[in-house]
Structure 1
């Protein structure tokens, strides 16, 4: 997840280092493009809230809110990159806790969208669909609330590990731990809950969804009547859009979050090799110092992409989901 140390560099306070320029530009563009886009999505979906809004659109609204919340923190991070952290210790803890919370909400929401897409395919095999639909309506609001509660719990370690550290005369809001074991544990926690488990779930749901759609397509082709050709084709188009949506979710998550978690793994190796392998430690630390800031801004780029991605597919394949 997002850590203050990953948005900090070691250049002096009198000049903006070249390693700061790329993340600063990306953060600025994210604020200008991503925040208004997510606000538009929020307003557009909220207007339809009382019109039997589908659960997919509710998840999209949940995602837009979490993305907008994340992007609201970008100006503070941008200022910290360029001029150091000047907002105090508790604002450091609270703002980065808020950032982690919103990012976890986004990850859990995207994962829920994948599970929901798969569930829509397999639920037709359940005999009593009326009972199933009643259970769905009762538990969907609880699921949305549960996403925020679970993300809140996942983000709690930030409160206890985030702090201020002086680097070349500038205060940095970053992770500060008393022992190597605590730091490694927190990093492993973030990798597993923020990437490995969600991505594995999304990938599994997509593979099962693809298999289920192929099986349904084969069975429908065997029983298709000539007069039913047009409606069947329309159903196939809807299923195709749904499949493309899930593919876009998995691909976007993989592209934007894999580099971030590679840096997490590098942080673990840096921590464990500090005394045992000083050469490896020094090389990895130099690599992280140069590239980590830019890599971690990819998370915010994902927040900017989401509104365009989901709005595009909502026009095509989510009218009845």
Structure 2
């Protein structure tokens, strides 16, 4: 009985301090209801704009790449990014309704699991694709001849399958631990890492493990890989002065920077909530809804970046479709590297010199 009571107290604490589901006020520290309401309303506004812009923008990108553009590796990367975002966007109305109803989940446990799964799938696939794009860029610059011979559509498709498979596996904890429970007269959709009334300590360990692994695989390690790749690219291009245009380079950098700006607060609060009892629960009640909405907003950002960076913004005569096609088309900068390398090899062979 003591174990059961302890677990129930833990569940109450979990729901009171955690995620964006608490409506219970601690005796020691009463949060500002005005702050909670502002946080919730702001989240609804962000979700609504994200849903509208995301469905329209990502849907347009998918249509353009599928029906209006020739097949290319760059287009394939952008198609998969748009697909991950679009899949999340079409389920976003569930989050809008949940937040608008003051976190009362009325859609059943299956959709509770699916909704959380899609958010994590969007995170995992997006960050894995951005890391893949960075590695692809780096290889194209450092080894242009090899890239010319081995960088194929077939290989890119295989990589995309691996990325989606990895994203699915990384998102599976949502299908296992996400549950609904009646709490304080409302149905709450939350992560129950205990699973049973006797697994309090194990639940804490599971929670810590899931959040730390998510931080490492969905943030820290990709950041390191991406920074290393683009550091190498910058030094290589500056040393050899190979880049004719910085446009494609700027687009990818903008996408990556935007991604991490949107997701960094989310990961920070997810790490902090592992030790939720050591922090004011006001931080989570007000902060979690906002950072979750900000993370979700990333799913509508890429099409906007394609439009405003595909051509110079001052050229108003260029239509949106033209800008999108321009931004999504194969990168001429890196393909030119292989051409130059081949030319260099031919020239040096004629002079009977050693290719360094």
The 8 Å contact of residues 11 and 17 in structure 1, kept in 2 or not, is answered as: no
Q: Distance in 2 between matches of 1:9 and 1:111?
A: 36
Take 2:51 and 2:149, find their aligned partners in 1: how far apart are those partners? 45
TM-score (norm 2): 0.73
Please, which of 68, 78, 84 is the counterpart of residue 86 of structure 2? 68
* Alpha-carbon distance, 1:129 to partner: 6.0
- In the TM superposition, what is the alpha-carbon distance from 1:94 to its structure 2 partner? 2.4
The number of residue pairs the alignment matches comes to 282
Shift of 1:8: 3.3
Of the candidates 251, 258, 261, which is equivalent to residue 257 of structure 2?
Answer: 251
Q: Which residue of 1 aligns with 2:178?
A: 162
Structure 1 residue 59 displacement after superposition: 0.6
Residue number in structure 2 paired with 1:200: 224
Is the deviation greater in 86-95 or in 182-191?
86-95
| 1:213 matched to 2:221 | no
Distance 1:88 1:97 in 2: 14
Question: In 2, distance between residues paired with 1:193 and 1:87?
Answer: 30
Please say if 1:107 is aligned against 2:127: yes
1:294 pairs, out of 287, 290, 295, with 290
CA distance in 1, matches of 2:269, 2:147: 46
2:106 is equivalent to residue 86 of structure 1: yes
CA distance in 1, matches of 2:137, 2:284: 37
Which of residues 189, 200, 213 is equivalent to 1:189? Answer: 213
Q: 1 CA distance for matches of 2:252 and 2:55? A: 24
- Partners of 1:258 and 1:129 in 2: how far apart? 33
* Equivalent in 129, 132, 155 of residue 139 of structure 1: 155
Q: How does 1:219-234 map to 2 (within 5 A)?
A: none
The runs of 5 or more residues in structure 1 that have no matched partner are 221-234, 275-279
Gap regions ≥5 residues in structure 2: 1-14, 26-33, 195-202, 311-324, 336-356
Equivalent of 1:315, from 323, 326, 345? 326
CA RMSD, Structure 1 to Structure 2 (Å): 2.4
Structure-1 separation of matches of 2:185 and 2:37: 14
Structure 1 CA distance for aligned equivalents of residues 167 and 92 of structure 2 = 20
For 1:157 and 1:87, locate their aligned partners in 2 and report how far apart those are by CA, in whole Å: 20
Q: CA 1:130/1:29 → structure 2, altered by over 3 Å: closer, same or farther?
A: closer
Deviation at 1:130, TM superposition (A): 5.8
